[in-house]
Structure 1
């Protein structure tokens, strides 16, 4: 009597980790890809999903994994997540570029004021006013000299200013302006150590619109119109 012995071959658990990881990463990447600001995250997760998916397919061909379809799906969705991520990054870069251009345009609207004595209205030489315009005159009177004199003119969209030190008195300067535009005129004069009286005065088209007087050493008179 012959005894027949039958042996069964032990088969280990399938190694489906790469395929599962590919699908999970691809799905998460697609979620991040919906938001343009997180497009770079979607790109990274999508690339990893493609890598793991291809490794999972390779395992199925070797017979050590059984989730071939899942691996291919993870690979495909991973590629889609990467594409969506790139799309989101392009949107962000375009928006950033547009923001920079807008800031440049805003900055151009706030250019530095022109040098003292330059015309406030383009095409009008200093000291001359175009027809219908007027002039603002700044005057400072007193004994001796002024420790400092500062005057500024804001007229419509133009502005100019100047500061002087140790100026002999009386002193005056005239600036052409458009009297129909919104304007602000400022004049401040300070006495030196000798004291005495110092007076500042603003005239528009020859008419006094502001006047102030101060007395004593290092005292200041300010006129604002």
Structure 2
């Protein structure tokens, strides 16, 4: 009993600290429930490893692309220690689920950019774009050389987004392209949840007191999410 009270107090204190960050777009109840979910998924470890994080992406957000799941893990892992902390989990989920277009543009760029210019700057190279598009496009049975089609698509994307024509995309180029045409946000592969999955997940962490109409609100929640539904702290 005493341990349970202490755990609730710790969660509340961590939530209060996180809510001081303006990038966290959750209510206190939502942050507390995210922290409880973190403990459940990490099996009460202080940090979550890559495989458990991938399980969340697969079971909760229906992601199946191994390469993109690994890249999303890297985008959450801000300190590059190959683990997700509670802070990284909540702040990452805030951008992932509730971020502004500009915040999500930065998130998607971090997922897509595999080529480092230096210790602090990355770009999306022609090779990165080719690899991601080739990986996510489905080969048609009639295609003898699908690689040619991918190359044409890469050229088209660079023509549209590569303003300085240097054969790669900087963050500024990617950001400006997305702000001008939001459909380019996930141009190189799906790395954000679709609207239905997003809303379903948000229902699992929301404050029931703030739900105006709870009748039927959980009808479409899949079994994988029902297993992690949380009571308010």
Instruction: State the TM bucket, normalised to the shorter chain.
Output: under 0.3
TM-score (norm 2): 0.18
TM-score (norm 1): 0.19
Larger radius of gyration between Structure 1 and Structure 2: 1
